[in-house]
């Protein structure tokens, strides 16, 4: 009874807070100044055909760096706790021929699509995070088809460290040679819509894609190589 009363009190409190937010709400009849600046000047200033990318990588590049760091932290904590043991080989049943053949056909296509997504991040929707996740899904497909195989974990670790370091180095180069941290105008912006344009945004996105792909792959690899438990 007291529990229910307590729950009711909490819900009422939440309702009160939400109501006060809702009663203050006025729908905006235009972009606020900073959004209209991004939408108006961003194209000329950054040279990226996809404005979302200009905001994510350059104007709000620090946020992207923070997201990548959070993902790195998650992957390293998982790697710390899920210590892989040299347990006995898993004697699962053999995977089906259809899955094996299909994965041989699809894996290169998925990998190329992932690379396309992050290389074209400044021209079309997509970018480092999405491309990295697609790369990791190609790895998962290969794990599903061939459970015995495993990617060398040190390759993943080295890829991740190098690309994370390169991301930060490019950001610091922006302070030295351009307007500030993660400014993309270290190299010429080029003409809008070309594959090689928008300054260093494509380079940053390649590193972000590699980093995110390596992190997500290492999470899955750690889960896969969990030691066998005593119950078996």
Partner 1 sequence: MEANLNIILAIIIGIITLVFGGIAIYHKKLSVAIISAGAVSLMASILFLLLAAPDVAMTEAAIGSGLSVIIFFYALSKIRKQND
In the complex with partner 1, the residue whose CB is nearer, 143 or 167, is: 143
State the minimum distance, in angstroms, from the CB of residue 119 to partner 1: 14
Q: Contact, 167 vs 208, CB < 8 A?
A: yes
- 3-class secondary-structure state, position 195: coil
DSSP codes, 16-71: HHHHHHHHH----SS--HHHHHHHHHHHHHH--SSHHHIIIIIITHHHHHHHHHHH
Q: Contact, 210 vs 132, CB < 8 A?
A: yes
State the minimum distance, in angstroms, from the CB of residue 203 to partner 1: 19
In the complex with partner 1, the residue whose CB is nearer, 131 or 174, is: 131
In the complex with partner 1, the residue whose CB is nearer, 99 or 165, is: 99
Give the separation between CA 11 and CA 8, rounded to whole angstroms.
5
In the complex with partner 1, the residue whose CB is nearer, 138 or 182, is: 138
Q: Tell me which H or E stretch contains 84.
A: none
Q: Contact, 213 vs 127, CB < 8 A?
A: no
State the minimum distance, in angstroms, from the CB of residue 90 to partner 1: 9
Radius of gyration in angstroms for the set of CA atoms belonging to the chain, rounded to a whole number: 23
State the minimum distance, in angstroms, from the CB of residue 152 to partner 1: 19
In the complex with partner 1, the residue whose CB is nearer, 77 or 169, is: 77
Q: Which residues in this chain contact partner 1 in the complex, by CB under 8 A?
A: 50, 52-53, 56, 117, 125-127, 129-130, 133-134, 136-137, 140, 216, 219-220, 223-224, 226, 228-229, 231-232
In the complex with partner 1, the residue whose CB is nearer, 24 or 230, is: 230
State the minimum distance, in angstroms, from the CB of residue 50 to partner 1: 8
State the minimum distance, in angstroms, from the CB of residue 12 to partner 1: 24
Give the separation between CA 178 and CA 192, rounded to whole angstroms.
19
- For residue 218, count other CB atoms closer than 10 A to its CB: 24
In the complex with partner 1, the residue whose CB is nearer, 117 or 156, is: 117
State the minimum distance, in angstroms, from the CB of residue 173 to partner 1: 26
The torsion defined by the Cα of 147, 151, 85 and 77, in degrees rounded to 10, comes to -120
């Amino acid at each position: 009874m007291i529990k229910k009363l307590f729950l009711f009190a909490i819900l009422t409190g939440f309702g009160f807070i939400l109501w006060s937010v809702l009663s203050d709400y006025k729908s905006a009849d235009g972009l606020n100044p900073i959004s209209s600046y991004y939408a108006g000047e961003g194209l000329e200033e950054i040279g990226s055909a996809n404005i979302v990318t200009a905001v994510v990588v350059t104007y709000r590049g620090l946020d992207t760096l923070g997201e990548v760091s959070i993902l790195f932290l998650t992957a390293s904590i998982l790697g710390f706790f899920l210590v892989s043991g040299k347990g006995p080989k898993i004697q699962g049943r053999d995977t089906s021929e259809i899955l094996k053949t299909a994965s041989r056909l699809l894996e290169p296509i998925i990998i190329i699509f992932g690379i396309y997504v992050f290389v074209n991040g400044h021209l079309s929707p997509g970018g480092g995070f999405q491309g990295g996740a697609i790369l990791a899904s190609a790895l998962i497909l290969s794990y599903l088809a061939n459970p015995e195989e495993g990617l060398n974990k040190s390759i993943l670790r080295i890829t991740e460290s190098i690309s994370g370091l390169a991301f930060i180095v490019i950001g610091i180069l922006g302070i030295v040679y351009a307007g500030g941290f993660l400014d993309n105008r270290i190299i010429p912006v080029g003409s809008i819509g070309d594959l090689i344009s928008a300054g260093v945004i494509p380079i940053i996105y390649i590193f972000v894609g590699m980093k995110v792909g390596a992190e997500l792959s290492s999470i899955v690899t750690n889960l896969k190589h969990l030691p066998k438990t005593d119950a078996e």
